[in-house]
Structure 1
Amino acid sequence: QQEEITELRRQNALLHLRLAQALQSAQSSREEVSSISSLQHKQAVNTQRNNQHLAETQSELQHVREELEVLSNDVVSMFHNLQHSCTEQLQDVQRKVELVETTNKTNDALLLQINELQAALEQSQSSHLREKSRRRELHNNLVEIRGNIRVHCRLRPCFSSEAVFPDSISSSSDVSEKDVVVYCNDDELISVDSDLKPSKKFEFERVYDQSTNQREIFDELQPILTSFLDGYNACIVAYGQTGSGKTQTMLGNPQDPGIVSNAMNELFRLIEEKPCDSVSLEVSVAEVYNNDIYDLLAEDPKRSKHDIVTTRGSGREVPTLTQINVSCAEDVETLMRIGLNRRAQISTNVHEHSSRSHLIVTVSATVCQQDTRPPSSDSEQRTPRKRPFASSPNLTSDDIINPTSPVAMAATYKTKLQLVDLAGSECVGMSGVTGPALRESSFINRSLSSLADVLASISERRSHIPYRNSKLTHLLQDSIGGDAKMLIILCVSPTRRFITETMQTLQFGSRARQVQRGPPRKRGSSPHTTPRGESP
């Protein structure tokens, strides 16, 4: 029994052990079941969420399908509409292409007509220019035969100080359209507008507008220099009120030279083209100041006055003036600088550098024309003859020469070119001058009045011409009433402020055009040389 009890105890212990293991296994199983249950719960929740999300997704998908179907219908409709629109536009483009082709054909025809009309217009313009040139040539020939004084007119640009009606839009000192009353109608006509009367028109041989430069003006005058070297006396005068651009026209500046500088350059160029002739030039620079003549090339110009004498040939000269031989244009520039530094000038209300004297630059040319043609017969060799210009009062019996000698092969003559920059006429009330300047203005206006009186006397063919009323007219007598080719350049302002002075200047030019002095006389020519073109 003890053994059975022991065995039972052992089996009971084993059972307890197995029970403990079973309990432990059951606890572990319960924990696993609990864990599995928790996982199943979570999975069920997730499944429910997924099902809900899937339902929402399916709902959205259905909505998208419906929208897609609507969009598909819209696309189909748009495609049909686009196709229809494209078809209509294509048809419209085709119609426009046809219209463009028709228009191009019409344009080609019009272009052809335009080209034909353009060619006809160019031909007409060319013919017009030729006829105009021919008319001017005939007019100048008539002027040449009559001995008329040729008159050109230059309209200078506006200055801001001349404003009478300031422009409210721009600066108060700018010149407005109301201020401008003088206009260039074409290259021969200039008009002056006035509030009280109709526009007044003046016709001259040439009219230069504000855009005309110095070189273009000189090109119009250049043939006078050819005539000068061919044996004609010549004179170019700048006339106008103070500040109208006379000195700028005649003298210019180093950057934009005037007539004097351009004339000297042209003279030396022409001399180089006369290889068979010997030409020497002498230059004098004088001023007529307060009706007295002063030599601006002298050491002390104001120390002595100079008188005008009448030469054996009834010409007017000032023999005491300094005459300097020049060989190039630079020599003349040097002399001009010396003379201009000594010229009288002051500042007035109208012009900052107002000239108080008449400047006269005289270029004297001595031309020796060579003729190397041998005598044509023995009788000509045996018979002395005179030179072609032997009738000139400047010649003596020494002009009768033997043609077989070397001297007989040369003809010598002298000509004179006067380049005159007149002092400007001025209104004393406008210029504001007093004292000595007032006296200068009086002499200037008096001498210009004398010039107008001389021209009027010549035009009316009076028996007495008052040249001696002024030293200016007396000094220019050979050019004004003699046989020289004379050109007057009128310089005028375009503004209303100076309309009175402008009208006086233009009327002076109109009177000057009426002067008939007879044809100019040529002082010498080579009997076998074709004369060159003369001044227009």
Structure 2
Amino acid sequence: MPLASREDPTPRGRPPSRPVSAPICRVRVGVRLRPLTSKETSEGGRGVVDVNPFDRTVTLSKRKFTYDTVFHPSVNQKELYSNVAPLLDSFLAGYNATVLAYGQTGSGKTYTMGSEAHSGNLGSFQSGKFRESDGLIPRFLSDLFNSLNKEREEAEKAILHSGDCAPGGVSSLVDFKISASFLEVYGDDIYDLLEEERTSLKIREGSNKDTIVVGLKEQVVSSADEAMGVLNKGTMHRTTGETLMNFTSSRSHAVFTVNLHKMTRNKEGDDSMTMSRFTFVDLAGSERMKKTGAQGERAREGIKINEGLLALGNVINALADEERLSRGEKVHVPYRQTKLTRLLQEALGGNSQTLFLACISPSDTNASETLSTLHYANRARNIKNAPTRNVDATKEELQRLRALTNLLKCELIKQKFYSSEEASTTALGEVNDEILLRDDVASYLDSIEEKVEEISGVSYRYFEQAKLPQLPGSMGVNRAVATPNNPPSTNPPTPNETGLTHDRPVYRGVDDETPDHEVTPDDDLELVDALLDSNEEQITKIDGDIVLEEKRLLKLRENIREYQCMKRKFEDKVEEVEKLEAEKQDLIARLEQAHADPSSSASTHAINQQLEKVKSSLSKARLEIRHHQQKYRESEAEAKKCKGLERRIDEMKSQKAALIRKTKDDAQRQKEFKTTKNREIQNLRKRERSAVNKCTKLET
């Protein structure tokens, strides 16, 4: 469903306004300072970061930074959520919203988001009873369902009291659907946290230039408890690990998304649908291996995390480069550098209202990481987004046309039944309610409706005639549609026109000569036959290609079988080299022992001869191994080619099957088409005979 409308933000519950250019808004940035941990205190750490919520500044040493909002360590989760709540209103009005949590590992990002595993009873979220530790996501989900249910209840009460719709034209909530998805970016792979099977997912660009994760599960939820169940299920599958800085360190970037489809109806009965998305991004923390003590797999994870955050930093730097942007220079934004940055393309510089939450540690032991985070957040403040209200363009256009129709009706009534003085003093699109009750006005409106239906019927017939000459699914055939306001063209097609374009025939009388460029029914039938022949040619070509590719595949498989024999020889040679190497080491040891005992000179000579033979055999064996290694690499390359050919042959067979199905369908349509054309020919002949008879009568 297309999302194509740009509007000013509208208050929740109001009908959509006229589409206008999207307002530009900055990414809002907040900084949350957590308290000192017991580990930092035991290591002698002291607080060196000062936050001032009143002037919204953060001070580290002599450096001072200003942000949109800052949070003292004493701020609890409820107070923090109050800064996210305004985004909920925008979300309900049809705007996309994003909250990102960024910071050093162990700085409290996951705690702030509330995406930690909840082992307790989830039933309390629907009623709004939270634990003190519950973060942004649980509170948001509870507030979301409470707001929607309250809006629906108020709308139902208004309908009951008024007997119609909500008074004053205010939109009433008709229905809504909420779904949730949860994924993680581990390394540079995307995994669905709601699926038991761990399969890497691909991403592609959608028709609206948005990023789509192919195969990502979206689970429909009807309550805050169900939504929390989805969050908890995904959290249990998220990749975590222990480091020196964090016992449950997130080893991946997590993205929890809530999708809302909301339909409202105004007093005229017009529906309006909005489709919005709220995304919570819990970024994995930046790490220094000296501090985390990461080794092996943990170290590799840390490197990948830092690579992703570096790519994200490059995106932020490009979007926040005000100097180049002010000069009008085109700045390349490296969204495609990683999958993480592609997923965040909408949140940074796109169609979303974004809150960037930087989480920092107060300890002097983490001062350099804290300073880096503050710089990162400061640059993010310069990013400008263009959020747009996501409405169903079809319903929006229908609503606009209805309003235009009502306005034109009013103007017609004024033109017909008002005096010139009354018409000039009445506002545009407004008429007196009493005049609508008059019989002559009602009769006039009925005649307009009848005329509209008549015109619609004519347009429909022309439309059906225009569809007949073209087979559904066929390509390269266009028709010029003749309508009362769009007469058939009499100009022949120009050589540079693409496709097979014909004008519909024009019948003026029996004495008129048919122009050369006009199309007869027989021409149409020939065109259909040509299209079917084209399908047959494509099938024949694909058959030939399949035969050639299968021959190549057979030859490759024979080569692979030969290489399998070489592989066994290679393995035998490796074993032989290992034995010769062991024998060589044994002889060297015996030779050293013989040199240490002068009385065994004869034995030394024999050992030397034997050692030379072993060295010679070892040299030959190693040479053969190198030769076999080269062949082995070639066999691996051939095996890859073999798999590629198998895939290509399967695709060609699928393409052939699709063409065969299409040919059968086209043959059926051809049969129906010929029947229609034969009927058309008979009708034309009848018309021609009738015209001849009329001419004969006129002559007599």
TM-score normalized by structure 2? Answer: 0.46
Q: Deviations over 1:331-361 (max 9, x none)?
A: 1111112111111111101111100001100
Q: Deviation at 1:472?
A: 0.8
Mapping of residues 122-521 of structure 1, within 5 Å: 145-163=23-41, 173=42, 179-194=46-61, 199-251=62-114, 255=131, 256-275=133-152, 276-277=172-173, 278-300=175-197, 302=198, 304-373=199-268, 409-460=270-321, 461=325, 462-517=330-385, 519-521=386-388
Q: Deviations over 1:186-210 (max 9, x none)?
A: 344333443xxxx111111110001
- Kindly provide the amino acid, as one letter, of the partner of residue 329 in structure 1: A
- Kindly provide the amino acid, as one letter, of the partner of residue 312 in structure 1: S
- Kindly provide the amino acid, as one letter, of the partner of residue 64 in structure 2: K
Tell me, in whole angstroms, the C-alpha distance in 2 between the residues paired with 1:512 and 1:146. Answer: 15
Q: Deviation at 1:521?
A: 1.1
Tell me, in whole angstroms, the C-alpha distance in 1 between the residues paired with 2:345 and 2:259. Answer: 16
Q: Deviations over 1:247-289 (max 9, x none)?
A: 0000166632110101100110111132232211100010000
Question: Does the aligned pair in 1 maintain the 2:93–2:274 contact within 8 Å?
Answer: no
**Using a 3 Å threshold, how does the CA distance of structure 1 residues 187 and 297 change in structure 2: closer, same or farther?**
farther
Question: Does the aligned pair in 1 maintain the 2:58–2:70 contact within 8 Å?
Answer: no
Tell me, in whole angstroms, the C-alpha distance in 1 between the residues paired with 2:307 and 2:354. Answer: 22
Aligned-partner SS, 1:282: strand
**Using a 3 Å threshold, how does the CA distance of structure 1 residues 250 and 187 change in structure 2: closer, same or farther?**
farther
Q: Deviation at 1:413?
A: 2.4
Aligned-partner SS, 1:426: coil
- Kindly provide the amino acid, as one letter, of the partner of residue 258 in structure 1: G
Aligned-partner SS, 2:336: helix
Aligned residues: 333
Question: Does the aligned pair in 2 maintain the 1:191–1:202 contact within 8 Å?
Answer: yes
Question: Does the aligned pair in 1 maintain the 2:60–2:371 contact within 8 Å?
Answer: no
Aligned-partner SS, 1:412: strand
Question: Does the aligned pair in 2 maintain the 1:180–1:495 contact within 8 Å?
Answer: yes
Tell me, in whole angstroms, the C-alpha distance in 2 between the residues paired with 1:187 and 1:447. Answer: 34
CA RMSD of aligned residues (A): 2.0
Tell me, in whole angstroms, the C-alpha distance in 1 between the residues paired with 2:24 and 2:96. Answer: 16
**Using a 3 Å threshold, how does the CA distance of structure 1 residues 188 and 150 change in structure 2: closer, same or farther?**
farther
Question: Does the aligned pair in 2 maintain the 1:230–1:524 contact within 8 Å?
Answer: no
Aligned-partner SS, 1:158: coil
Q: Deviation at 1:453?
A: 0.6
- Kindly provide the amino acid, as one letter, of the partner of residue 182 in structure 2: V
Q: Deviation at 1:371?
A: 1.7
Q: Deviation at 1:416?
A: 0.9
Larger radius of gyration: 1
Tell me, in whole angstroms, the C-alpha distance in 1 between the residues paired with 2:377 and 2:331. Answer: 23
Q: Deviation at 1:145?
A: 4.7
- Kindly provide the amino acid, as one letter, of the partner of residue 387 in structure 2: P
Tell me, in whole angstroms, the C-alpha distance in 1 between the residues paired with 2:209 and 2:347. Answer: 13
1:77 aligns to what?
A: none
Question: Does the aligned pair in 1 maintain the 2:28–2:381 contact within 8 Å?
Answer: yes
Aligned-partner SS, 2:200: coil
Tell me, in whole angstroms, the C-alpha distance in 1 between the residues paired with 2:209 and 2:60. Answer: 45
Q: Deviations over 1:178-228 (max 9, x none)?
A: x1100112344333443xxxx111111110001100000001110101101
1:8 aligns to what?
A: none
Q: Deviations over 1:8-52 (max 9, x none)?
A: xxxxxxxxxxxxxxxxxxxxxxxxxxxxxxxxxxxxxxxxxxxxx
Q: Deviation at 1:367?
A: 1.1
Q: Deviation at 1:319?
A: 3.5
Q: Deviation at 1:452?
A: 1.0
Aligned-partner SS, 1:325: strand
Question: Does the aligned pair in 2 maintain the 1:151–1:512 contact within 8 Å?
Answer: yes
Tell me, in whole angstroms, the C-alpha distance in 2 between the residues paired with 1:451 and 1:225. Answer: 26
Tell me, in whole angstroms, the C-alpha distance in 1 between the residues paired with 2:279 and 2:214. Answer: 15
Tell me, in whole angstroms, the C-alpha distance in 2 between the residues paired with 1:187 and 1:238. Answer: 22
Tell me, in whole angstroms, the C-alpha distance in 1 between the residues paired with 2:243 and 2:266. Answer: 56
- Kindly provide the amino acid, as one letter, of the partner of residue 269 in structure 1: N
Question: Does the aligned pair in 2 maintain the 1:226–1:270 contact within 8 Å?
Answer: no
Q: Deviation at 1:486?
A: 0.5
- Kindly provide the amino acid, as one letter, of the partner of residue 111 in structure 2: Q
Tell me, in whole angstroms, the C-alpha distance in 1 between the residues paired with 2:112 and 2:60. Answer: 25
Question: Does the aligned pair in 2 maintain the 1:454–1:473 contact within 8 Å?
Answer: yes
- Kindly provide the amino acid, as one letter, of the partner of residue 308 in structure 1: I
Aligned-partner SS, 2:84: helix
Question: Does the aligned pair in 2 maintain the 1:159–1:175 contact within 8 Å?
Answer: no
Aligned-partner SS, 2:354: strand
TM-score normalized by structure 1? Answer: 0.60
Question: Does the aligned pair in 1 maintain the 2:104–2:369 contact within 8 Å?
Answer: yes
Q: Deviation at 1:175?
A: 5.5
Q: Deviation at 1:321?
A: 0.6
**Using a 3 Å threshold, how does the CA distance of structure 1 residues 174 and 449 change in structure 2: closer, same or farther?**
closer
> Gaps (5+ residues) in structure 2?
1-21, 121-130, 153-171, 401-700
Q: Deviation at 1:174?
A: 7.5
Report percent identity of matched pairs: 33
Tell me, in whole angstroms, the C-alpha distance in 1 between the residues paired with 2:57 and 2:287. Answer: 22
2:502 aligns to what?
A: none
Aligned-partner SS, 1:317: strand
Q: Deviations over 1:36-78 (max 9, x none)?
A: xxxxxxxxxxxxxxxxxxxxxxxxxxxxxxxxxxxxxxxxxxx
Aligned-partner SS, 1:257: coil
Tell me, in whole angstroms, the C-alpha distance in 2 between the residues paired with 1:185 and 1:322. Answer: 43
Tell me, in whole angstroms, the C-alpha distance in 2 between the residues paired with 1:180 and 1:190. Answer: 16
Q: Deviation at 1:309?
A: 1.5
Aligned-partner SS, 2:384: coil
- Kindly provide the amino acid, as one letter, of the partner of residue 238 in structure 1: A
- Kindly provide the amino acid, as one letter, of the partner of residue 326 in structure 1: V
